Structure 1
């Protein structure tokens, strides 16, 4: 009965102070809607190159050899470089100005791509596109950590991550529709219209952000929040008691001597490679190269969509469950470790059984749950640290993962290893074991830090003390 009561309170939303539910509904409506639309558009602009390549761009621009791979690598380099600067920018600039401005920049660069006449021009454009798009993923997690408690953060991070997975599922269909309906219109090839339309999509989303995105609790001037709600938003999140640290040698030393940086960057590097089954489209490569079987173009495009579908379900389930359990994000680390070991073993030992292989690849899609929960875990662990330090650690997580993944996929999941990917399966087993051990290490360090904090009179579970609650209740 106690569990049922907790579930009921969680679903309905249990207020710690009057007006909290109304506040949550408002910030959910404006923060999540903008961030999810931004991430979806981010995905479209990032993925359109491959769609254009197979839709006539290769022949028209005279691509040769591995130029497409080089362009994708150049984009990744720009994306990696942009991680920390973009997140630090959010600690200096108003997010409702910074996010939409970055959107307009990458949207403009996307539209400019429609006018190129050679692959070299695309290389230059994609580098700066990567720098601009670096703001979205890590920036959103930084903003979410500023507004939500550990009992709310996982679910919101999950919804944000799911929007990107939805883009993975439906983006290709959108791109195909644009190419088919506009090919030849006004003398432009369909692939050129692809870049134009994708760029235009960012404009209304950016305008929406300029007008209604609420920044962070301490700086928000959102017209839909009352003064009492702004005070409540600040009181709900524990103050670190530390001013934003200046960017100097002392700050750099603090970053590199903190266990948080090594712990969470290492966590996301390992966890990011457990996503390799899904993020590198291994199921599609398996189907393309499967001995004795032939799949139609429709099947090659449709069957792999089940992987992100499983990822969406898993992400929302684990994000919600860890919120309900008070922020026990580490449980996802052990779940992913088990998933990686079992799915790899199934593919290695049951390769001749097509149904088992398909089932293993679909199940492997469940590891996408780590995106939402691990970034939420980092936000939880850094609640009593200053925002600038938190922004650097979050950005470093994604930077480290992308830097490793750039060469990891070539070493273990190159297309010429299809359909078995034997080397990759063993790498997945190793990563899964490492993830379980690393997760245990972070739990140990977090518990030790929490005990120290409690010894100094700070309770991490207190969100609004009795005096604040009483005062806020009178105001509301």
Structure 2
């Protein structure tokens, strides 16, 4: 069991004040030999404080409190400044971007419950077909989008995507037939395809393993917050705008777009691209060199010039287990999230006679609890140096248990309520744990990591394009017996696959130790 991370002796910390001074020569070497556009200017040291001053800072109660709350407290002064800038601008921009993406994606379910079903005369699997059209667009756009990302500045590309999908979202108010809704849903999915894998790749490019899970979780819970806001927005619309010309659910599409446009512009300003190619206005030359030194020092990560992904990259990627196993693990996670992303809780409350405001608002408690638990899990994970797999296992266990209860259905009312929380809360932490795990294991190979992140995200949607039509048919609501049975089974499969990944990770770690020991032995003999 990995030990919890504690601030070690100052001189042994490669990222501490004194550790930075020891890294100065390596920074100079990196600047002169690496294939990326940075100025060749030596930094004599990264901090201007003495070791005594730094030790004194670490004795104070403010340092002890800060080190519990946030992970930058035990870094050197300049590294803290870099992380502060990234957290303020980059992290906030991707959280807002994911917020509007999830808001635009989820509003179709809220609209269905609040009048769209009747307006468009929807029946049977019509809602599932709208979701499938979005998913097909998402699948089609994945790899082309990431090939474009390999050649184009992420901040402008992601900002442009956000603007375009927001325009399509507001155009949904013009859809008076299902075929029009199908078409717009496809193109929204196509445009949203590049956002998530690009952000996960950028997170892994800027943050180290003991910093990554917190940020990945904050990114993920911004989507959970969007699911909460959708319910409150619709409830507010029902109270204030239900007498207006437009149907209340159409105002939701308009408000989503109004919220989205300024966030898209902010993305273009705040996203720093990658460490090797950043031209961000808020990062100075020292920040850029420290950013590259951090990833190089930790994992030996290379920052090659932008180029096409070639045969060597494909060979490296497909010669290890990561590209084969992580996509299936994430498939199991993503597909089991349907237990809460489908209108399961809302439709059950509606069937019990709750008012529109009540069945829109009550399920948001699941999202709120999910955010709280996800943040606690993230802090624990980073405290143990980025330990992710226990929480992936916990996700699948809780999902299997809650889905089993809901598949049985005829259970006490209190247990019924509890089961919706049981399947909904863990969805807030499953995604960041899986992608932080991928980023951590593949941090030393930029291209391989990009391909694996993309494949991991993409495969889940291949099945999500057609499986929900069979398992989560809207005609089966609110019981969804097939859906919850499928969910419980898939969660068990995900649990087993996660155990397999743990075994392979430990095997690789043991193999590296043996290789390093043999190499060291050879050096000693040669000497």
Question: How would you bin the TM-score normalised by the shorter chain?
Answer: 0.7 to 0.9
Indicate the residue corresponding to 1:129 in structure 2: 188
How far apart are residue 325 of structure 1 and its match?
Answer: 0.6
Alignment deviations for residues 7-41 of structure 1 (CA, whole Å, 9 cap, x no partner): 85343534344422221111001112111111111
1:208 is paired with a residue of what secondary structure?
A: helix
What is the CA–CA distance in structure 1 between the aligned matches of 2:113 and 2:478, rounded to whole Å?
22
Indicate the residue corresponding to 2:253 in structure 1: 195
Indicate yes or no: 2:251 matched with 1:204.
no
Alignment deviations for residues 187-207 of structure 1 (CA, whole Å, 9 cap, x no partner): 766555543443233221122
Task: Map residues 32-181 of structure 1 onto 2, 5 A cutoff.
Answer: 32-52=91-111, 67-116=126-175, 118-178=177-237, 181=240
Indicate the residue corresponding to 2:301 in structure 1: 240
Indicate yes or no: 2:486 matched with 1:427.
yes
Indicate yes or no: 2:317 matched with 1:258.
no
CA contact (8 A) 1:214 1:220 kept: yes
CA contact (8 A) 1:40 1:164 kept: yes
Indicate the residue corresponding to 1:399 in structure 2: 458
Indicate yes or no: 2:441 matched with 1:384.
no
Indicate the residue corresponding to 1:436 in structure 2: 495
How far apart are residue 315 of structure 1 and its match?
Answer: 1.6
Q: CA 1:84–1:334 in 2, change beyond 3 Å: closer, same or farther?
A: same
TM-score (norm 2): 0.77
CA contact (8 A) 1:179 1:193 kept: no
Indicate the residue corresponding to 2:54 in structure 1: none
How far apart are residue 280 of structure 1 and its match?
Answer: 2.2
Indicate the residue corresponding to 1:461 in structure 2: none
Indicate the residue corresponding to 2:74 in structure 1: 15
CA contact (8 A) 2:329 2:498 kept: yes
Q: CA 1:389–1:177 in 2, change beyond 3 Å: closer, same or farther?
A: same
Alignment deviations for residues 384-403 of structure 1 (CA, whole Å, 9 cap, x no partner): 112x3222211222221122
Indicate the residue corresponding to 2:272 in structure 1: 214
In our comparison, the structure showing a higher alpha carbon Rg is 2
Q: CA 1:151–1:130 in 2, change beyond 3 Å: closer, same or farther?
A: same
Cα RMSD, aligned residues only: 3.1
Task: Map residues 297-376 of structure 1 onto 2, 5 A cutoff.
Answer: 297-347=356-406, 351-368=410-427, 369-376=429-436
What is the CA–CA distance in structure 2 between the aligned matches of 1:349 and 1:52, rounded to whole Å?
28
Q: CA 1:3–1:188 in 2, change beyond 3 Å: closer, same or farther?
A: closer
How far apart are residue 426 of structure 1 and its match?
Answer: 4.1
How far apart are residue 161 of structure 1 and its match?
Answer: 0.9
What is the CA–CA distance in structure 2 between the aligned matches of 1:303 and 1:438, rounded to whole Å?
34
What is the CA–CA distance in structure 2 between the aligned matches of 1:418 and 1:45, rounded to whole Å?
23
2:486 is paired with a residue of what secondary structure?
A: helix
Query: Which of 332, 337, 340 in structure 2 is aligned with 1:278?
Result: 340
What is the CA–CA distance in structure 2 between the aligned matches of 1:118 and 1:431, rounded to whole Å?
35
Query: Which of 76, 89, 94 in structure 2 is aligned with 1:30?
Result: 89
Deviates more, 1:439-448 or 1:368-377: 439-448
Alignment deviations for residues 177-224 of structure 1 (CA, whole Å, 9 cap, x no partner): 457656787x76655554344323322112212223211111112222
Q: CA 1:62–1:307 in 2, change beyond 3 Å: closer, same or farther?
A: closer
TM-score (norm 1): 0.84
How far apart are residue 321 of structure 1 and its match?
Answer: 1.0
Deviates more, 1:164-173 or 1:232-241: 232-241
Q: CA 1:333–1:113 in 2, change beyond 3 Å: closer, same or farther?
A: closer
Query: Which of 230, 233, 237 in structure 1 is aligned with 2:288?
Result: 230
What is the CA–CA distance in structure 2 between the aligned matches of 1:429 and 1:111, rounded to whole Å?
36
What is the CA–CA distance in structure 1 between the aligned matches of 2:269 and 2:170, rounded to whole Å?
24
Q: CA 1:276–1:93 in 2, change beyond 3 Å: closer, same or farther?
A: same
CA contact (8 A) 1:183 1:191 kept: no
1:41 is paired with a residue of what secondary structure?
A: helix
What is the CA–CA distance in structure 2 between the aligned matches of 1:200 and 1:367, rounded to whole Å?
30
Q: CA 1:58–1:343 in 2, change beyond 3 Å: closer, same or farther?
A: closer
Deviates more, 1:139-148 or 1:123-132: 123-132
CA contact (8 A) 2:125 2:473 kept: no
**Structure 2: gaps of 5 or more residues:** 8-63, 518-527
Deviates more, 1:330-339 or 1:173-182: 173-182
Task: Map residues 445-464 of structure 1 onto 2, 5 A cutoff.
Answer: 445-454=504-513
**Structure 1: gaps of 5 or more residues:** 459-476
Equivalent pairs counted in the alignment come to 452
